[in-house]
Amino acid sequence: MHSTQTRLRGTVMTACAAALALLAAGCSQASAGTQTGGCRDDGHWTGRQQAAWLRTAVTITADGTQPSYKDASVVVRPPRTGDVRVLCQPLAVQVEFWTLTATTSGTEMSSVMRYRLSTDGSRTRTVGFPAGLPGGQYGTCTRVLVAAYVGVPLTNRQLPRMTRNLGAADDTDVRFATERIGVHRLLPTGDSAQCDADRPTPSPARTGATDWDIYHP
């Protein structure tokens, strides 16, 4: 009788040990799954998919109504809609500023500043507008264009161009030859009357980009 009870007790203990082992393994696998599934897999995203994610995360605070851009900024924050998990692989993001000036021969474009940063959507990044951006105070029709895009700096072929005269143009009249653009904004000039007087042609004569590249880790 005693021997039977001992064997029974041993069988029960063995079964319990096996159950605990399975439970531990299950918890371990669940923990590992939670860790690998806790971020959004973007390793195979195309440039268009990356730009779509960036579009939900970027806000440009400037509206062009202020006399200067000292309080204006480009804010990259966690996405506000859709899948809001952080990205498994941070995206390289460029924030670039151009001035567009109407002349009798067309529209001259110049890159003023380019900021480079990395983001996975886990925290907010703020890029202030560069100092000294013109707003028409020099007697010319000059507008500011800002864009946030993914990947490397734009090539000459991918630089923005206007589809109508600078004075009457809005965001929809700016064309980039790439799908990597997340957000862009063409800000109004401080002297709209001068823009009307200049009447630029829609085909821009581009100038070389200023060699600025500031890295924000």
DSSP letters, 165-207, are -TTT--GGGEE-SSS-EEEEEEEPPS-HHHHHHH---SS--PP
Residue 110 has pLDDT above 80, yes or no: yes
Residues 6 and 97 occupy one common structural domain: no
CA distance 129 to 148: 12
Residues 103 and 181 occupy one common structural domain: yes
* Domain-embedded: residue 10: yes
* Domain-embedded: residue 42: no
Q: What is the pLDDT of residues 47-65, one digit of tens each?
A: 999 999 999 999 999 876 6
Which of the residue ranges 16-30, 35-49, 67-81, 136-150 would you say has the lowest mean pLDDT? 16-30
Residues 53 and 109 occupy one common structural domain: yes
Residues 52 and 141 occupy one common structural domain: yes
Residue 111 has pLDDT above 90, yes or no: yes
**Prediction pTM value:** 0.72
* Domain housing 200: 47-216
Structure confidence at residue 122 (pLDDT): 95
The two tokens of residue 92 are: 């390289």
**Do residues 182 and 58 touch, judged by C-beta distance below 8 A?**
yes
201 contact partners, CB below 8 Å, separation of at least 6? 105, 106, 107, 165
Residues 74 and 26 occupy one common structural domain: no
Residue 171 has pLDDT above 90, yes or no: yes
Q: Where are the beta strands (DSSP E) in the chain?
A: 58-60, 73-76, 91-103, 106-119, 125-128, 142-150, 161-162, 174-175, 181-187, 214-216
Structure confidence at residue 146 (pLDDT): 97
Structure confidence at residue 206 (pLDDT): 45
* Domain-embedded: residue 107: yes
* Domain-embedded: residue 155: yes
* Domain-embedded: residue 126: yes
